[in-house]
Amino acid sequence: MSDKVYDVPSQWAQKAYVDDAHYKSMYAASVNDPNAFWGEHGKRIDWFTPYTKVKNTSYDPGHVSIKWFEDGVTNVAYNCVDRHLETRGDQVAIIWEGDSPDESRKITYRELSSEVNKLANVLRNRGVEKGDRVTIYLPMIPEAAFAMLACARLGAIHSIVFGGFSPDSLGGRIADCGSKVVITADEGLRGGRKVPLKANVDAAVNQIEGGVDHVIVVRRTGGKVDMTPGRDVYYDEAAAMVTDECPAEPMNAEDPLFILYTSGSTGKPKGVLHTTGGYLVYASMTHQYVFDYHPGDIYWCTADVGWVTGHSYIVYGPLANGATTLMFEGIPNYPSVSRFWDVIDKHQVSIFYTAPTAIRSLMQAGEEPVKKTSRASLRLLGSVGEPINPEAWEWYYRVVGEERCPIVDTWWQTETGGILITPLPGATKLKPGSATRPFFGVQPEVVDAAGGVLEGACEGNLVIADSWPGQMRTVYGDHERFEQTYFATYPGKYFTGDGCRRDADGFYWITGRVDDVINVSGHRMGTAEVESALVAHPKVSEAAVVGFPHDIKGQGIYAYVTLMDGEEPTEELRKELVAWVRREIGPIASPDLIQFAPGLPKTRSGKIMRRILRKIAEDQFDSLGDTSTLADPGVVEDLISNRQNKR
């Protein structure tokens, strides 16, 4: 923790949408009378039929139900595209920067409209209708945004699967939501390397009973791929047959917009469901206020559209606001570690939003690759995905932002739809490592293990006491799981799964997950998923997975593996298991360290004591806590003496 404080520069207090006094009065209004507050701010998007009801939400156990603007009718694509045509049709909506610095493209709102309508017609011709699910497995190319908006235009529910997931993970997600259509590309391109997306789709679809009806393939690299006649079509060929006019489906505010799978502490990834009206109001409002977005800004969020940050802050929030949003296909260190800063200069980026893991990895290369670029266009920096350590914060502030750019450290989750705890750059003093204060309408509380609400400066678990418009509505197809996961631990409250500290100024410091979710390079993973991948290997009898502190990734994956009787713990098998997990889940889930353990610490009732495994992985051998309830206390000695280290 750092005790440094950076006051709001007076220029910012004057020019930003809100200063501190304004924040305080707006915040008070938002929680004292949510109906009046959101009734007013809901008007920031266009409605075909205005809502007369605003908030209708219940966190009551057994009856959790979340509805906002429930009788309003609108369309998300209409709001992100059509409504801008009259005033800013020729303004650039999307700047696309390719993997190679030689490739970029600018798409105006008018061009965006034409592209989205064409893609919508291609889907419509294949029978896609309101309520149907469409899986998108695309690299960071403009077609990813076109596809999202095309689905929204038709009222189809998109489910984007990150290109780094394996065929198995993709297949599971296609099957879970019953998509009959998949949109993909021949190959992706990242850091000069090709990713076999279409081949992955083929493998995924082969596992699904009944397969899918249509696979639409965008040509990205032109690489040769297998095309199944009758099922597969190249997008450019299909698009040549349709017009660029397609009506926007009138959608009720509570009609689903998208499903996004995310990891929890147990079981398979959950299909987080977001709906139309409240989501868009919240994404656009947070985008405007948190980034102090003004017309003319060039805004760049480096996330992938496969994650929620890409949904809300590359596509929906910025486009609803008529912004110019930059979409980057590549990676931070290709062709050099100056790439981010080069892109900022090339496109005159003024607002830059990235993840701590990227900052930490670039920090390693020193200041020179940053300093040789100008970055004079920058005025605001943002951070998301995991807690930012004060050293990385200071480097970002001093070296990248030249002490001129406030940093907004934004805490939120796939489930929350948009940013919940964050500084507002004209209002909030900054403390490196703190996400600071709640956004309008957000009521955080810190509770102890028993659910008692803590007051003042304290540390405990973070819950949110009442609903906000961007909140997820359910787990797709499993409302019971939604209630159990988020509302059962502390009945009547939304449990975030994060631990946090509140200081004497009322600022929040997120300390990380308190459940069995780990955060590896800002990618969220359930330890249970990695464990079930490991035990699926024929030589593995048991596995327990925990996180451990990792300098660049934030957390690394530490796997304790017990082999079947008679199997030899060899270096070769270690490599085989890493490759196995990559194949089962995807490269992002590769274990960093595997320790072969003849036995795992278990209670007499057979429960693995993860607390002990976590402490060993963290090298905290002195604070293992009470081990007297272990069935065989001897295993701990063995685990400690065989602790794996980074090589």
What is the smallest separation between the CB atom of 260 and ligand 6R9, expressed in angstroms? 9
377: closest CA among 351, 396, 398, 357? 351
CB of 221 or CB of 265, closer to ligand 6R9: 265
Report yes or no: 319 and 81 within 8 Å, Cβ to Cβ: yes
Q: Please give the angle made by the CA atoms of 87, 88 and 94, to the nearest 5 degrees.
A: 155
Half-sphere exposure of 208 (CA within 13 A, CB side): 26
Q: How far apart are CA 473 and CA 547, in angstroms?
A: 29
CB of 333 or CB of 413, closer to ligand 6R9: 413
CB of 189 or CB of 384, closer to ligand 6R9: 384
**92 annotated binding-site participant:** no
* Residue 154 to residues 128, 233, 279, Cα–Cα distance (Å): 8, 20, 17
Q: How far apart are CA 624 and CA 630, in angstroms?
A: 12
What would the two tokens of residue 185 be? 């590309």
What is the smallest separation between the CB atom of 502 and ligand 6R9, expressed in angstroms? 14
**535 annotated binding-site participant:** yes
CB of 265 or CB of 590, closer to ligand 6R9: 265
CB of 232 or CB of 498, closer to ligand 6R9: 498
CB of 322 or CB of 441, closer to ligand 6R9: 441
What is the smallest separation between the CB atom of 355 and ligand 6R9, expressed in angstroms? 8
* Residue 418 to residues 225, 309, 317, 472, Cα–Cα distance (Å): 37, 8, 9, 10
Distance of CA 32 to the CA centre of its chain: 30
What is the smallest separation between the CB atom of 419 and ligand 6R9, expressed in angstroms? 8
Q: Which residues bind ligand 6R9 (CB under 6 A)?
A: 262, 307-309, 383-387, 409-414, 435, 496-498, 510, 512-513, 519, 524
Fill in the DSSP letter of residue 249. P
**513 annotated binding-site participant:** yes
Q: How far apart are CA 272 and CA 457, in angstroms?
A: 33
**333 annotated binding-site participant:** yes
Fill in the DSSP letter of residue 79. I
CB of 117 or CB of 436, closer to ligand 6R9: 436
Q: Measured at CB, which residue is nearest to ligand 6R9?
A: 414
CB of 388 or CB of 545, closer to ligand 6R9: 388
What is the smallest separation between the CB atom of 561 and ligand 6R9, expressed in angstroms? 26
What is the smallest separation between the CB atom of 307 and ligand 6R9, expressed in angstroms? 6
**193 annotated binding-site participant:** yes
Helices (H), 233-372: 235-239, 277-290, 308-310, 317-320, 339-347, 356-363, 368-371
What is the smallest separation between the CB atom of 102 and ligand 6R9, expressed in angstroms? 31
What is the smallest separation between the CB atom of 636 and ligand 6R9, expressed in angstroms? 28
**428 annotated binding-site participant:** no
* Residue 469 to residues 54, 384, 475, Cα–Cα distance (Å): 9, 20, 17
C-beta neighbour count of 477 within 10 angstroms: 13
CB of 96 or CB of 486, closer to ligand 6R9: 486
Fill in the DSSP letter of residue 577. H
**191 annotated binding-site participant:** yes
**410 annotated binding-site participant:** yes
What is the smallest separation between the CB atom of 520 and ligand 6R9, expressed in angstroms? 11
**583 annotated binding-site participant:** no
What would the two tokens of residue 280 be? 């868009």
**173 annotated binding-site participant:** no
Strand-pair category, 540-550 with 554-563: antiparallel
What is the smallest separation between the CB atom of 346 and ligand 6R9, expressed in angstroms? 27
Report yes or no: 109 and 323 within 8 Å, Cβ to Cβ: no
Strand-pair category, 55-58 with 193-195: unpaired
**414 annotated binding-site participant:** yes
**275 annotated binding-site participant:** no
CB of 383 or CB of 461, closer to ligand 6R9: 383
CB of 66 or CB of 573, closer to ligand 6R9: 66
CB of 274 or CB of 524, closer to ligand 6R9: 524
The residue type found at 401 is G
Q: How far apart are CA 391 and CA 29, in angstroms?
A: 36
**540 annotated binding-site participant:** yes
What is the smallest separation between the CB atom of 384 and ligand 6R9, expressed in angstroms? 5
- Sheet with 92-97, strands from edge to edge, namely 104-108, 92-97, 324-328, 298-301, 351-354, 380-384, 407-410
**565 annotated binding-site participant:** no
**288 annotated binding-site participant:** no
**509 annotated binding-site participant:** no
% helix, strand, coil for the chain, step of 5: 35, 25, 40
What is the smallest separation between the CB atom of 393 and ligand 6R9, expressed in angstroms? 11
Rg (C-alpha) for the chain, rounded Å, is: 24
107: closest CA among 323, 256, 289, 290? 323
What is the smallest separation between the CB atom of 325 and ligand 6R9, expressed in angstroms? 17
CB of 252 or CB of 414, closer to ligand 6R9: 414
Count how many residues are written for the chain: 647
Contacts of 253 (CB under 8 A, 6+ apart): 51, 67, 68, 69, 70, 71, 72, 73, 74, 275, 276, 277, 278
Q: Which residues are annotated as a binding site?
A: 190-193, 309, 333, 385-387, 409-414, 498, 513, 521, 524, 535, 537, 540, 582
Q: Which residues are annotated as a binding site for ATP?
A: 385-387, 409-414, 498, 513, 524
Q: Which residues are annotated as a binding site for CoA?
A: 190-193, 309, 333, 521, 582
Q: Which residues are annotated as a binding site for Mg(2+)?
A: 535, 537, 540
